[in-house]
Amino acid sequence: MTLSMETQDIKEKRTPYFLILVFIILSAGIITTGYLYCRNYEKHRRIEMENQLSAIAELKISEIKLWRKERFDNGEIFYKNASFAAIVQRYFKNPGNMNLQKELHIWISQIRANYNYDRVRLLDANGDVRLSVPATTEPLSSAVKQHVAETLRSGQMRFMDFYRHNISRDIRLGLLVPIIDTRPGGVPIGVLFLRINPYSYLYPFIQRWPTPSKTAETLIIRREGNEAVFLNELRFQKNTALTLRASLNRKKQPAVMAVSGQKGVVEGIDYRGSPVLAAVGAIPDSPWFLVSRMDSEEVYAPLQEQLWVTVILVVTLLISVGMATWFIWRQQSMSFYRKMYEAAKVLRKSEERYRVLFEQASVGVAEIETATGRFVRINRKYCEIVGYTSDEMKQLDFPTITHPDDLQADMENMEMFKTGRIREFTMEKRYICKDGSLAWVSLAVSPMWESGNTPDYHIAVVQDITERKEAEKRERLSHNVLDILNRHETTSDAINDILFLVKNTTGIEAVAIRLREGSDFPYYKANGFTGSFLQAENSLYSRDELGNIVCDKDGKPFLECMCGNILYGRTDAKLPFFTKGGSFWTNSTTDLLKTTTDINCLARMQNRCNNEGYESVALIPLRSDKEIIGLLQLNDRRRNRFTLETIHFFEWLGASVGITLLRSQIEKTLRKSEERFRQITESKEECIWEVNAVGLYTYISPVVEKILGYKPEEIIGKKYFYNFFAPDVKEKIKTAAFEYFARKQTFKGFSNQSVHKQGNIVIIETAGVPVLDSKGTLLGYRGVDIDVTKRRQIENQFRQSQKMEAVGTLAGGIAHDFNNMLTAIIGYASIAMNNMEQDSPNRLNIKHVLEAAEQASQLTQSLLTFSRKQITDIKPVDLNEIIRKVQKFLVRVIGEDIKIRIVLNESDVNILADSSQIEQVIMNLATNARDAMPKGGMLTIETALTEIDSEFIIAHSYGKPGKYAIMSATDTGIGMDEETKKKIFEPFFTTKKVGKGTGLGLSMAYGIIKQHDGYINVYSEPGEGTTFRIYLPLALVKKETADEKSMENKLIPNGTETVLVAEDDKMLQKLTSEVLSESGYTVILAQDGQEAVDKFIEHRDSIQLLLFDIIMPKKNGKEAYDEIIKICPSMKVLFISGYAADIIREKGILKDGLSFVTKPISPTALLRKVREVLD
């Protein structure tokens, strides 16, 4: 534009001289003949038209050159613009971010509106359109795609020449601006395509002619191979742009002359075949050529004047020449000044657009004096970022508001910028705002203009990235907290590390946690507080003048200070210093205490934080479920340390700590339960997780591999939480889970069945808390998973044990009295039978009495055995031998229609067992098999050897490692369903009709096997029969030999020793005395333990054996024995009792290895045992 104006100015100065020359030439023509006049006039006309055509051509060439330059200047706004590139780069990475899209839309809309572009499109590195203004579905032309690819390769701006869209067939031009990555060695990440409609400005400008003319027009041509291509629409022929072509062989055509390199005014034949006069020339910095032409007929039309008026014409001509000269000068002057005015108007409009763009830019823009660093011009956004007004900023320089930690790097960049080593630079830095807070910005510096090698001024473009930096810091902190909660074994260590992490990450001076202790909330852990502060503030109790604790109307201790309000939930979210989450926060305790009385209306305030100089204070409740169990305290002596987003984050942190404490409580409860059932497990297998709002895992701790068999990398970003639910409950649990999501509720104890990677079912309990943004929108959930599969199994076993304990309690309660009565019946019946003749008819009656008593005794022993309260005769036995022994009895029990098949292990199967009890188990299993095969079948009893290892234990959820004997009993009966299998070992459970079974058979078998440290399991399907499989530990010693057994069958001889008998039951006392006396023993009787001690002291020299009942008045048998052995340590003793085994163990009889027999006992067995002890 400036060059064109200077050219016009030169022409304006030369015009008077040129007109004087014309006037002299015309005046000389007056003297010549009319012929010479005509020739001279013709020459004048020719020169005039040449100048006119040249002027017009030069004007249009300069205007087109300037127009192209302005287009490139527009591109420079975005080319290597770090701020714009950063926005584009973030938008490409996160196309769903509407804020970024809106910001880009504003940029592009302003440049399109201000510089009259037809359409502006943003393309990525793949050439795909990511944004279009105005929006359109019209695809890119193939020619545009090719130029886009070349622009991405070169990284330079490219002007796209006239082209025709291959779909719409419209003619367009374009400017392609590469968007360069802001990082070092950056490459193009996209292209900004500024499309130009030549019909809106360029074509009308080319077609305009400054003077009236019937044939004049301007053409733009470019060369393509051996042809000249017309680029604009023509006056006398339509649809010629990019369509009309002229071969270079047509050398008389002005268009061909132009593309062949000719310049100036030429004569030729135009595209119509008409003779023309034309000015031709090349348009600089472009492939275009311009032709300004007019028909020769119109050029020379004035020559057709009549010769006869020559004289008059001369006079008239002199006057006309003078007037024409003045008129032409006047017209050209007016045209010159008119163009100068239009240029000035365009310049003012351009400056106004720049001012509006500068002031309304969505980023901060400042003009800074390079030498001093002082701000010269600042836009509104820049002032908003730093908090100063424009006038205040003009009094400052950029080092004054730059954070000291960032100043050195900033000054080093500026030094290189001043010395020309770099032309521009970008960096992230912190500004110190007017209120003292810090603002993170992304800074881009570029020269505004230069004087010599150093720019006098530079442009600083800043974008506020404070929120992004804070979000990044909080995100890192949250992941670190989750890692700590997952990594630490103890809650104390985890909280210590969390406080240290919070203090160092946020820069907060002091952090602490209070936890409930009784009704007070003393400090649990602290970091950064002074010892005196912690000591003074440790207790929140309010005390009266006498030092007594003050209580409220409900009897709860009154807690002082704002801490007490938070811990008791006395908050009001309508007040600015409370949140909906029940937290308190302020950035200036001094201002808060001065400006509001609401805070003092809630409770008695100590204000110690303010007295200690703490201005920024936040108190965050820690919750376990809905109960507040403590608080997180953050103090800083500096102001403005918190934002609402920061408080929300700390509320999440408080919830996480609350979950950790809740987890600790669960662990304690679980450990107590496991200790009670003697199956202790460690509760440090929690899996910490995080999902987004649709349930996709965004984080999960490595513990998940132990629980579900998957590694974290197989889950994060790939699986949703409901992908692991068992198929039969998946939809039900998924629906229930998303109901919590919809209500944004915290949950705990949420139980579900999940599928392990190997296919087995794992029972998991889940606790989680919602993660919300500042607007309350659900972002996702964070929580913990606990594998409770083993705990559920333990609970089931415990319930079974409780049922057995109930029966055991019943059995133990009646055992003593019942056994005493049975002992008397068996004893006196035996004496009566021994005194009868062998052929006495009453002998059979006594025999029936003894048999009934024996059956009653076995029933009592069975009940005690079932409840594991019976003392067993454990010794090495061969399981195969026991099965062979009972085989003959099984035939009578199960009947002839059931076939028995015995498959025994080849070698002996030695176990430690009570043979009679194992026999009873086999009989019970056989009876159960008989009832399951009413129409006959087969019962198979097998034995084998096996070894239980860790894999077996994991697969079956029971067992201890070691070698075992297996005994299995398989029938071909009706089988049973799952519900029956669950209850099969429960006492009194039976599927038989009333009167057909007691429901104790399998329960007794279960109790016997458990008493032998073994395991019993059942495998059955309806209609497929049943298999009971029993595991018994192998014996490490061999079974007794036949010789050893034969010793037991020898007759016990009578004795002559003196026996002290202590028995509180008079009938049994009398019976025992008679049995011993008849066998030759001398008997001394005592009614209780104390009398036994007294009788022993009296007859100590004659007594050889003590026969004591265990449970007696005054002193029990064991206590009496303990006193006697102090007198006579070598005294022998035989204890006898009808009580259950647990009571006997409690008295220490079995523990001390003392001799013991149980009631009921026959006289023969008693005599044999007495003889055995004495000998």
Provide the H-helix boundaries in 867-949: 879-894, 915-932
Band the pLDDT of 710: cuts 50, 70, 90. very high
Mean pLDDT (the chain) is 80
Band the pLDDT of 283: cuts 50, 70, 90. very high
CA distance 637 to 588: 9
Peptide bond into 399 cis (omega under 30): no
pLDDT tens digits, residue range 662-697? 676 666 666 665 554 333 333 456 888 999 999 999
| Range with top average pLDDT, 636-650, 946-960, 1137-1151 | 636-650
pLDDT tens digits, residue range 445-460? 888 765 556 778 888 8
Band the pLDDT of 481: cuts 50, 70, 90. confident
Per DSSP, 695 falls in state S
Structural contact between residues 259 and 248, judged by C-beta atoms closer than 8 angstroms: yes
pTM more than 0.85: no
What are the tokens at 1101? 């020299």
Residue 1144 resides in a domain: yes
Mean pLDDT of 1026-1030: 91
Residues 427 and 496 in one domain: no
Choosing from 1049, 1075, 1103, the residue where a domain stops is 1049
Judge whether residue 379 has pLDDT over 50.
yes
CB within 8 Å of 615: residues ≥ 6 apart: 586, 587, 588, 589, 590, 636, 637, 638, 639, 641
Judge whether residue 868 has pLDDT over 70.
no
pLDDT at 851: 64
Residue 331 resides in a domain: no
Residues 504 and 576 in one domain: yes
Choosing from 1049, 1076, 1099, the residue where a domain stops is 1049
Residues 188 and 90 in one domain: yes
Residues 118 and 141 in one domain: yes
Judge whether residue 487 has pLDDT over 50.
yes
Q: Identify the bridge partners of residue 458 per DSSP, sorted by sequence position.
A: 368, 447
Q: Burial letters for 133-165: b for 16+ Cβ neighbours within 10 Å, e otherwise?
A: beeeeeebbebbeebbeebbeeeebbbbebbeb
Query: Could you give the dihedral angle defined by the CA atoms of residues 843, 846, 847 and 853, in that order, rounded to the nearest 10 degrees?
Result: -170
Judge whether residue 313 has pLDDT over 70.
no
Residue type, 518: G
Pick 979 or 775 by higher pLDDT: 775
Judge whether residue 602 has pLDDT over 60.
no
Residues 585 and 445 in one domain: no
Residue 309 resides in a domain: no
pLDDT at 601: 43
Lowest mean pLDDT among 497-511, 846-860, 988-1002: 988-1002
pLDDT tens digits, residue range 509-551? 899 988 888 778 888 888 888 888 888 788 777 766 655 667 7
Residue 1017 resides in a domain: yes
Mean pLDDT of 759-776: 88
The neighbour count for residue 845, using CB atoms within 10 Å, is: 14
Band the pLDDT of 268: cuts 50, 70, 90. very high
Q: SS3 helix, strand, coil % of the chain, rounded to 5?
A: 45, 25, 30
pLDDT at 619: 92
pLDDT tens digits, residue range 887-905? 877 776 677 788 889 999 8
Judge whether residue 790 has pLDDT over 60.
yes
> Which CATH number belongs to the domain containing residue 939 in this structure?
3.30.565.10
Lowest mean pLDDT among 305-309, 431-435, 680-684: 680-684
Residues 990 and 895 in one domain: yes
Pick 668 or 79 by higher pLDDT: 79
Judge whether residue 781 has pLDDT over 90.
yes
Lowest mean pLDDT among 301-305, 516-520, 563-567: 301-305
What are the tokens at 64? 């087109």
pLDDT tens digits, residue range 171-226? 989 999 999 887 777 789 899 999 999 988 888 888 888 888 888 999 999 999 99
Q: Cα–chain-centroid distance for residue 682? A: 26
H/E stretch holding 292 reads: strand 288-295
The size of the chain, in residues, is 1175
Residues 111 and 184 in one domain: yes
| Whole-number percent of the chain with pLDDT over 90 | 12
Question: Could you tell me the end-to-end alpha-carbon distance of the chain, in angstroms, rounded to an integer?
Answer: 136
Residues 557 and 642 in one domain: yes
Band the pLDDT of 327: cuts 50, 70, 90. confident
pLDDT at 677: 35
pLDDT tens digits, residue range 383-424? 988 889 888 888 888 898 898 988 898 888 888 888 888 888
pLDDT tens digits, residue range 1113-1148? 888 888 888 899 988 988 889 888 766 555 565 555
Pick 274 or 1008 by higher pLDDT: 274
Choosing from 662, 697, 731, the residue where a domain stops is 662
Mean pLDDT of 320-346: 71
Number of domains in the chain: 6
CA distance 872 to 856: 18
Residues 624 and 514 in one domain: yes
Which phi and psi (to 5°) does residue 755 adopt? -100, 120
Mean pLDDT of 333-345: 72
Residue 283 resides in a domain: no
Residue 452 resides in a domain: yes
pLDDT tens digits, residue range 608-630? 788 888 989 999 998 876 788 88
| Whole-number percent of the chain with pLDDT over 70 | 79
Residue 539 resides in a domain: yes
- The residue with tokens 């057994």 is 1045
Judge whether residue 4 has pLDDT over 60.
no
For 900, the domain range is 872-1049
Residues 1035 and 1065 in one domain: no
Residue 1030 resides in a domain: yes
Band the pLDDT of 862: cuts 50, 70, 90. low
Structural contact between residues 618 and 634, judged by C-beta atoms closer than 8 angstroms: yes
Mean pLDDT of 251-276: 91
pLDDT at 291: 94
Band the pLDDT of 322: cuts 50, 70, 90. low
Pick 682 or 483 by higher pLDDT: 483
What are the tokens at 598? 């609401």
Nearest to 1116 by CA among 816, 868, 810, 824: 816
Judge whether residue 555 has pLDDT over 70.
no
> Which CATH number belongs to the domain containing residue 1079 in this structure?
3.40.50.2300
Residues 705 and 752 in one domain: yes
pLDDT at 941: 92
Nearest to 752 by CA among 734, 772, 739, 738: 734
Q: Identify the bridge partners of residue 1079 per DSSP, sorted by sequence position.
A: none
pLDDT at 1008: 83
CA distance 1002 to 812: 20
pLDDT tens digits, residue range 1012-1027? 888 888 888 888 889 9
Band the pLDDT of 81: cuts 50, 70, 90. confident
Band the pLDDT of 811: cuts 50, 70, 90. low
Band the pLDDT of 245: cuts 50, 70, 90. very high
Residues 459 and 591 in one domain: no
pLDDT at 306: 44
> Which CATH number belongs to the domain containing residue 382 in this structure?
3.30.450.20
CA distance 1042 to 267: 144
Mean pLDDT of 84-112: 87
Mean pLDDT of 871-889: 80
CB within 8 Å of 911: residues ≥ 6 apart: 876, 877, 878, 879, 965, 1012, 1032, 1033, 1034, 1035
SS3 27: helix
